[in-house]
Amino acid sequence: MRSSLIRSATTSLTRGNFAKISSSDLSFFERTVGSSYVKTKDIDNYTCDWTKQMKGSSKCVLIPSSTEETSTILKYCAEKRIAVVVQAGNTGLVGGATPLFDEIILSTSRINNNFHLEESSGVLTLDAGIILADADYLLAEKGFMMPLDLGAKGSCQIGGCIAAGAGGIRLLRYGSLHSHLLGCTLVDGKGTIIKLGGSLRKDNTSLHTAHLTIGSEGQLGVITSVTMGVVPRPISILCAMLAVSSYSHCLRLLSLARSKLGEILSSFELIDGETMKCVERHLPIKNIFNEPHDFYLLIETHGSNGDHDGEKLNEFVEEALGAELAEDGVAAHSENERTHMWRLREESPIAAAKDGYIYKFDVSLPLEHFYRLTEETRKKLGTRARVYCYGHLGDGNSHLNVTTDGEDEELKKELSPFVYNWVVSHGGSISAEHGIGQLKRDYRSLGKSEEEISLIRSLKGVFDPHRILCPYKMIPSQE
């Protein structure tokens, strides 16, 4: 990705009234977690975000191994008024886990020892620092799987997934994290250890407080343990890809898929024609169709009977072609073919990043407006930029990518306001699954009522009265 380092989306921010790290602070932290886990050198991979567009100047990274060590750190930081950024796998795209100034970075990567599955109920309790792919691998041995699947599954952590409100490619079938989170352990901004929720699938004795942590971006505390429902691992996983001439046909095919594939439909992904050209231009992977098309749909099914599922998927493809909703279509007949199809979708972000300086947008829209945003953005920018769209059509999550040959300050100033205002004015959300972080801070109130904003500020005050957790972002410390 060709891009320069920028401090944040908001250049007017000034450092808050927080204490600066002293040698006595470092000595306390070393006594708490061990000197090997207080890092002050070679920490660029912690202070810079995944996109390489945001970077802070932290002087130290703390890596506790338990809830108790985390509590000790946060109690101390609250007393000393030391700002803290919570960081899990550091795979986010909005700078939520990246410092702006010299905040301490608290990494949860060592909180990864506990993993317990209750097989009869399908309830899993695990430490927040366990990597998503590792959790899924352990579950596979018992015939289960994690209900969410992300491109970053090899490095993102469970606690980070909760804090970011991760969605992923199979929300259509298994629902969001709200469908699965039962409880968690949270260390708040005072260092208090709080048990939220429990392990029961039905418990209406209180507010469902654990769900406050979903999408909280570390604003309320550090998640150290998670209890959630997991799902049976499918015996049959099948894929098909369709080439489509118009977005209206894509919508009709989604309705047809819901009707014909029903309970086995797990993913319905869209790649537009410009994105497919970008993939072929920058990556060693070829379109599975010989001719270019305006849209491509990737459909996946999860089921328990391969013959039954294969028959349903083939009938769906045949009906799509027979009704002339699709110009071409093919079902995967091997694991290699299925992997090829998914690579075209999952490597679309990589191709876009190789295309130049990149501006990324992750938004939700009503399906009638899902692709109109791409069309309106192309119309506005003309030849100044290249515009790509891919995403989870099944749940209305568009990933809009704009690239230029070099960083364009004028375009940057006008692009985000245009996109975010357009999205909200058409009934959408400016963040579907990546959060607010630094990148969207200036636009976080779009579409939200004053009453909701006031409530969120009040909750922040309850969990983090000194505003030391993840300042300058979703809930700024100055407010």
- Segment 361-381 mean pLDDT: 97
Q: Rounded distance, CA 197 to CA 212, Å?
A: 11
pLDDT of residue 50: 81
Residue 383, classified by CB atoms within 10 Å of its CB into exposed (0-12), middle (13-18) or buried (19+), is exposed
Q: Which helix (H) or strand (E) covers residue 42, if one does?
A: none
Q: What is the pLDDT of residue 8?
A: 39
Half-sphere exposure (CA, 13 Å, Cβ side) for 224? 25
Q: What is the per-residue pLDDT for 260?
A: 96
| CA gap 339, 342 in Å, rounded | 5
DSSP letter at 6 equals B
The top-level CATH class assigned to 356-443 is alpha beta
Between 7 and 255, the more confident residue is 255
Query: Which pLDDT score, from 0 to 100, does residue 4 have?
Result: 36
What's the CA gap between 422 and 418, in Å, rounded?
6
The percent of residues above 70 in pLDDT, for the chain, comes to: 97
pLDDT at 213 over 70: yes
The percentage of residues in the chain with a pLDDT greater than 90, rounded to a whole number, is 90
pLDDT in tens, 430-441: 999 889 999 999
Asked whether residue 283 carries a pLDDT value surpassing 50, the answer given is yes
At residue 6, the pLDDT reads 36
Contact 246, 295 (CB under 8 A): yes
Measured on CA atoms in the order 379, 380, 382, 388, is the torsion positive or negative? negative
CATH of domain 236-348: 3.30.70.2190
Highest-confidence range of 10-24, 141-155, 217-231, 449-463, by mean pLDDT?
217-231
The pLDDT of residue 276 is 98
Burial class (CB in 10 A: 0-12, 13-18, 19+), 382: exposed
Q: 76-89: per-residue pLDDT in tens?
A: 999 999 999 999 99
pLDDT for 477 equals 53
CB atoms within 10 A of CB 456: 17
pLDDT tens digits for 23-69?
A: 999 999 999 999 999 999 999 999 998 878 889 999 999 999 999 99
Q: What per-residue confidence (pLDDT) applies to 471? A: 94
What's residue 150's pLDDT?
Answer: 87
Mean model confidence pLDDT for the chain: 94
* Amino acid 3: pLDDT: 36
Q: Do domains 115-232 and 236-348 have the same CATH topology?
A: no
pLDDT at 7: 38
| Rounded Cα gap, residues 246 and 328, in angstroms | 13
Q: Give the model's pLDDT for residue 84.
A: 98
User: Per-residue pLDDT tens for 383-428?
Assistant: 999 999 999 999 999 999 999 999 899 998 999 999 999 999 999 9
Question: Span 115-232: which CATH code?
Answer: 3.30.465.10
Report yes or no: 165 and 214 within 8 Å, Cβ to Cβ. yes
Where along the chain do its domains lie? 115-232, 236-348, 356-443
Q: Is the pLDDT of residue 11 over 60?
A: no
What is residue 476's predicted lDDT score, i.e. its pLDDT? 63
Name which of 1-5, 127-131, 472-476 the model is least confident about.
Answer: 1-5
